[in-house]
Amino acid sequence: MNFSKNDKPNDKAVESQKRHVQKARRGFLDMVSKAGIASSTLRYSSLLGGVMTARYAQAADSPKRVVFCYIHSGAPENDFRPTSATNMAGGTYHYGPQGHDIAGICKFRGVDTGVAVHGGTRQALGGGYSGNTIDVDLGNVLGATSYYSTIFLGSNATAAGTGPGIIVSSGGQPIEQPTAAVEKFFGALPDLGNDETYKKSFAAQKAAVEAVKKKLGTEEQARLSTHFKALEKLESRITELSSAQAPDLNACKPNIASDPDDGQNAGMVTHAKLQADVITAAFACDITRVAVMQIGNHQGGGWNYKGFDGHSAGHSGGASVWNAMMTEKFEVPAYLIKKLSETNDSNGQPLINSTAFCQVSCAGNGLSHSSADSPFMLATKLPEFGGGSFSSKGTAASAKNFLSEVTKGLGVDPSATIVGASGGDVDLLS
């Protein structure tokens, strides 16, 4: 490590410690703010503070990750769900042994998005044209201790048209170019500031607990005692964070020198795979724990295949063009799952062991513009999902049921997200 003549090695360590303390404070306040709770309210409601503390501690204690990969307009009709981990359907060729060979940890499902293609994009992440999509809500929990609560990347996601339904996430516009994503997330860590509100808020809660102890019954005192211990645990965690080192962004940075053409045949796949590399690197560095990649949009956009874009292929290209184009796009999620399986986290374990990969779409089949049998899929080795094993079921499930079970498997109560469904017929947790 090189230092200028005016620098001392300890200066770098102290600066790193300060950044981590500030990050923890900012992370907690950001989480509370996104939950719609004023920080002043915590000072007068110790039990509410305990709820938020538990949410923050959960994110710190459970390094679970989730990535949503959206592919527009469904899949080849009756050609997505394989019959076994080695016997792929035509549309899932890239998942099997002749491709990236990751089908053994995949759970393929056909779901009903509820909206027939056009305008159905947000339904793929459990949302509508107002309110949050599931990635934003999960980012508030799983990403509470990360530098970025979520990241959102695209590949021709904004190529055609504007308006509701085009962008899958409610979290803003995607970064479309891999080099721009590398510059943003690996150029430097975000400025965390010096806000002391976090520390003052917890001090106020402690004072409030002590002030009311004598006025409470035995059961209430026991509950407050538990809450008080939770506060102490969190403060201890912040002390530990202060001695931790920030990630080495140069060591984590993916090697992406330029942005390839993303509009024609192999170019569109190459471009999206580079975005997958960025997401994998961000997870490995623990820069974020929630990510979304949007491949195309429900209007088809600039993803051209043999002279047809995604929209015209569905209307006039016919099955011979449409099926081949969609099958080619499905190499991207298979590639990303493989990367998660081959890349280790900071604990030396493959990322797929702590990551739920979710493939989603806005339709069943773009040729017929149907909402049924949309190509959803979960790939993970998280033990909460049975440790990862192949399965393929029929088409009874809804998108919200699928997302609800994913949320449960990540250790988050679905009522804390926009999902609000029971799961039931999806069967992802076994």
**CB-based contact 288:148 (threshold 8 Å):** yes
Nearest to 281 by CA among 251, 246, 244: 251
338-385 pLDDT, tens digit per residue, is 999 999 987 889 999 999 999 999 888 877 778 888 999 999 999 999
**CB-based contact 125:135 (threshold 8 Å):** yes
**CB-based contact 297:160 (threshold 8 Å):** yes
**β-strand partners of 56:** none
Q: What is the mean pLDDT of residues 271-282?
A: 94
Per DSSP, the residues of 163-230 read STTSSS-TT-PPB--HHHHHHHHHS-PPP-----HHHHHHHHHHHHHHHHGGGS-HHHHHHHHHHHHH
Give the confidence band of 23 by pLDDT, cuts at 50, 70, 90: low
Confidence (pLDDT) at 163:
44
Lowest mean pLDDT among 54-68, 106-120, 289-303: 54-68
DSSP at 261: P
The encoded tokens of residue 165 equal 């339904």
84-143 pLDDT, tens digit per residue, is 999 999 889 999 999 999 999 999 999 988 776 666 788 889 887 677 899 998 988 888
Lowest mean pLDDT among 30-39, 68-77, 217-226, 316-325: 30-39
**Mean pLDDT for all residues in the chain:** 78
Confidence (pLDDT) at 103:
96
Give the CA count within 13 Å in the CB-facing half-sphere of 272. 29
Query: Would you tell me how many other CB atoms lie within 10 Å of the CB of residue 211?
Result: 10
Q: Sign of torsion, CA 57 60 61 67? A: positive
pLDDT over 90 percentage in the chain: 30
Q: Say whether pLDDT at 161 is over 80.
A: no
Give the confidence band of 202 by pLDDT, cuts at 50, 70, 90: low
Q: Say whether pLDDT at 154 is over 80.
A: yes
Confidence (pLDDT) at 39:
56
Nearest to 112 by CA among 313, 370, 335: 370
Give the CA count within 13 Å in the CB-facing half-sphere of 36. 4
229-270 pLDDT, tens digit per residue, is 665 665 655 555 555 567 888 888 899 988 887 766 667 889
Please give the Cα distance from 154 to 294 (Å, whole number).
5
Question: Which are the contacts of 89, defined by CB distance < 8 A and separation ≥ 6?
Answer: 79, 80, 81, 82, 83
Confidence (pLDDT) at 28:
66
Q: Where are the domains of the chain?
A: 10-60+191-242, 63-189+251-416
Lowest mean pLDDT among 29-43, 173-187, 371-385, 405-419: 29-43
Confidence (pLDDT) at 350:
96
Find the angle CA(182)-CA(66)-CA(153) to the nearest 5 degrees: 30
Confidence (pLDDT) at 306:
78
Confidence (pLDDT) at 68:
98
Phi-psi category of 138—alpha, beta or left, where left has phi over 0 and alpha has psi -120 to 50? alpha
Confidence (pLDDT) at 63:
81
What is the third-level CATH fold of 63-189+251-416?
Alkaline Phosphatase, subunit A (3.40.720)
Give the confidence band of 334 by pLDDT, cuts at 50, 70, 90: very high
Q: Say whether pLDDT at 79 is over 90.
A: no
Q: Say whether pLDDT at 69 is over 90.
A: yes
Query: Using CB atoms within 10 A of its CB, is residue 91 exposed (0-12), middle (13-18) or buried (19+)?
Result: buried
Who wins on pLDDT, 238 or 405? 405
Confidence (pLDDT) at 29:
64
Q: Say whether pLDDT at 50 is over 60.
A: no
The encoded tokens of residue 142 equal 């799983």
